[in-house]
Structure 1
């Protein structure tokens, strides 16, 4: 582990949808150093990393040779990268990360996996707002999926305000990541997830076992983001303003208005682009304030989840928790938010 006062040295394994965003985010932190990224690709994806000055490593000797043959400058292989790093963030495809864990343990390096892996891979699942303290000093953690992150963020906020009794949600899930929509996905159909509850509810309980939450999910033919609808039973009858104030207490929930022109997923993504966010990233849960309704002790609301971006600030906070460099979760969240521009949206379109 890095010496106190020195930057935490970070390796990123896998330079795909999440990996490239994690790498960018690490480079914005004043207490972290991106040592390099490891990958297997020989095409434009790794070319972009090299153009940014990121040091590239091949996953294996064969991959390194292929990458060099394709014209990439390669510094070594994954084991070389791990040897000079404090923490590795595994951003490889689902189920590949779990296969990499024995290597990380053998090398004695702390590691982070993401929501494509099971909770049992690390024995700890992470959302900064909910359980930062329990990750401090651990050898590993799992940053939960995009949808689970949004569920824990919103329900934990209501729980901290003393309002949450139980929650039931329906998720409209994007079909595939935008960059590979030409390779697969669905068209002219909807695909319901076969099990009720869908996996996101139990996954949220891996972060906070006290959450009374049930989810249902359906895959829809679009790639921009996920859309959630929630029905929540509160502990008591409240008015709408009290609920809005509860959500406003979380810096990673932004309340937007459809009446300001943000009535659909594409308009919110366009706002991110206009704000100059890298990759049009929406790090926050974008919750429609003017759609939110309260009837006695029942609450109804909807929000948008950027499946490519929401876990990025959580991953940065998880790095600090594992390294122990920032022991106060609120302080880490504030630091990450500032570096990434979380909460910088125009007041004209939000309820800040």
Structure 2
């Protein structure tokens, strides 16, 4: 039996804790430990869960020990025991840590807060898994960019998409940080068109004709996208839906099910027993998809805290070269996490009441 991939996670925050949990669930991976600088409830939760804890540096180690946190060593100690590190630290921190990772000789996976130039490769599993196999490092793109590549990439793969123009309504801040500030009772447009998500999607799909506009709204639960698409030919709604159905990690919801707003889908994830209420899929409103000749229109929801977790797991397999086939990695990740193509089963025709 092949030895499991030995994984380190740095930064035990919104993304890091979810990556850590997903790694622990995978049959071909072993979480050696997590590294952080925190001494509060977040890292204490990791200790409670039995996750080995390391300090990002000596200063953090002293603070952690003083706070009573069981520390096994520093990040350098952790790196000496692993094959790959997933860096989920705040924006710009990961780029500064790259020299340390390279000296340790480990594979590196960064998150979308870092620039494409940092690794020279950006990753979404269904689009470019093969080009990441064996690389020293890659960058899993941001939540919104991941959704763009999944959905528009599905239509491009079906030779349907000519161009895409999208508007993104972004959440103001992560729910766990809403006490620190955010947008209240207003909407703040991004100051440039295109917003950064469109150009970022082209780091994965270079030929994608996409322009995005974005605004930050006064809510904390998930993002909402609206897309106006020009198709390569006159098409039908069924053909567009078939292309989306054929792609991985797109799930379908309907207004008819009562899933009429972002909060209803979030509540559904909780009712389904998802860890932390997470939704790893892009949730497309199936009954809203509209096609008129060579134009199509759709809207979908992005759970920003969770969507990049399966991509991070696939990136681990790609850079370590343990799985060459992207479809095989996607299938394994999705099966273990329990991802769905439709969140609710189709209801049978109602049985008439007895006479």
TM-score band by shorter chain is: over 0.9
Return 5+ residue gaps in structure 1 as ranges.
none
Which residue of structure 1 aligns with residue 274 of structure 2?
Answer: 277
1:164 — aligned with what?
161
1:105 Cα offset (Å): 1.1
Post-superposition offset of 1:18: 0.1
> 1:25-44 residue pairs with structure 2 within 5 A?
25-44=22-41
Quote the Cα distance in structure 1 between the aligned partners of 2:247 and 2:49: 33
In structure 2, the partner of 1:73 is: 70
SS of the counterpart of 1:301?
strand
Superposed CA offset, 1:94-145 (max 9, x none): 1111111111112111100010000000000000010000000000000000
Whether contact under 8 Å (1:251, 1:343) holds in the other structure is no
> 1:32 and 1:286 mapped to 2: Cα distance?
28
Q: Does 1:346 align with 2:344?
A: yes
The alignment of Structure 1 onto Structure 2 pairs a total of residues equal to 346
Q: CA RMSD in A?
A: 1.0
Cα distance per residue 1:227-249 (max 9 Å; x no partner): 00000000111111111111001
Hey, what does 1:202 align to over in structure 2?
199
Q: How does 1:56-71 map to 2 (within 5 A)?
A: 56-71=53-68
What is the aligned partner in structure 2 of residue 224 from structure 1?
A: 221
Q: Which residue of 1 aligns with 2:264?
A: 267
CA distance in 1, matches of 2:45, 2:151: 35
Offset at 1:65?
Answer: 1.4
Structure 1 residue 120 and structure 2 residue 124: aligned? no
Distance (whole Å) between structure 1 residues aligned to residue 276 and residue 118 of structure 2: 30
- Counterpart of 1:107 in structure 2 is 104
Contact 1:260–1:348 (CA<8 Å) still a contact in 2?
no
Superposed CA deviations along residues 148-203 of structure 1, whole A, max 9, x for unmatched, are: 00000001100111101000000000010000101011101111111100000000
**Cα deviations across residues 52-100 of structure 1 (Å, max 9, x unaligned)?**
1100001111111111111111100000000100000000001111111
Does the Cα contact within 8 Å between 1:87 and 1:319 map onto a contact in 2? yes
**Structure 2 residue aligned with 1:332:** 329
Separation in 2, partners of 1:331, 1:146: 22
Please list the CA deviations of residues 277-330 of structure 1 after superposition, one character each: whole Å capped at 9, or x if unmatched: 111110000000111111110000000000000000000000000011110000
Counterpart CA distance in 1 for 2:181 and 2:104 is 37
Q: Secondary structure at the match of 2:180?
A: coil
1:348 deviation in Å?
3.7
- 2:141 and 2:88 mapped to 1: Cα distance? 12
Residue 320 of structure 2 corresponds to which residue in structure 1? Answer: 323
Are 2:258 and 1:253 equivalent residues in the alignment? Answer: no
| Residue 251 of structure 1, CA deviation | 2.3
- Quote the Cα distance in structure 1 between the aligned partners of 2:346 and 2:264: 14
| Secondary structure of 1:233's aligned partner | strand
Structure 2 unmatched ranges of 5 or more: 348-355
- 1:155 and 2:177 matched: no
Q: Hey, what does 1:47 align to over in structure 2?
A: 44
Assess if the C-alpha contact under 8 Å between 2:4 and 2:28 holds in 1: yes
